[in-house]
Amino acid sequence: MSDSFLYTTPLDPRAKPLIDELIHEYDSRYGTYFSAEGAAAELNRYPPEAFAPPDGNFVLLIRDGETIGGGAFKRYDERTAEFKRIWTRHDLRRQGLARKVLIELEAQAARQGYFRIYLTTGFRQPEAVGLYLNYGYTALFDQAVDPEIHRTLPFEKDVRHLAEPELRVAGGNR
């Protein structure tokens, strides 16, 4: 059993399991809470090009030829990448795969010149909230109130330390 990362596009047929399961997961947790069209509307909100270099990227975690996880980022602002679509296959959860994807995305965002990560998760995804808080992300919302009040829960993390030394010194190209 060997895991590897594959940088590709949301249109790659190997991305279909990720997209299909994300739609199912979001629809089962939120239904039409955010949109009458459900999760498919959110996932189709951004064109595939938003997740392509030089401003973004899309990665799949592959094990023995099967897609078991993945994630993406797009440009949020000049110095900030916004993470989207972080997912692991439902039957392989609680194995550290989401953390593995997160680490890979952070490193790639830094390689592409970003210093900060921004992301949001939904209020009915406590597992994601725990992952981000346990991995050094700062909550940009009041954690003392019912998360449904916020609807979406934003986080940030400085990843400047992951940038190449010359980018850190020069302030980067972003």
Residue 170 pLDDT exceeds 60: no
Structure confidence at residue 62 (pLDDT): 97
Binned at pLDDT 50, 70 and 90, residue 41 comes out as confident
pLDDT digits (tens, 9 = 90+) for 61-99: 999 999 999 999 999 999 999 999 899 998 998 899 999
* pLDDT tens, position by position, 124-162: 889 999 999 999 999 999 999 988 888 889 999 999 999
- State the chain's maximal CA–CA distance in angstroms: 48
**Residue with the larger pLDDT of the pair 45 and 49:** 49
Confidence at residue 29, expressed as pLDDT on a 0 to 100 scale: 77
**What is the pTM assigned to this prediction?**
0.88
Identify whether the C-beta of residue 101 lies closer than 8 Å to the C-beta of residue 86.
Answer: yes
Q: Contact, 118 vs 155, CB < 8 A?
A: yes
The CA angle 144-147-153, to the nearest 5 degrees, is: 105
The mean of the pLDDT values for the chain is 89
Cα–Cα–Cα angle for 133, 169, 81, rounded to 5 degrees = 40
Could you tell me if 123 and 150 are in contact, meaning their C-beta atoms sit under 8 angstroms apart?
Answer: yes
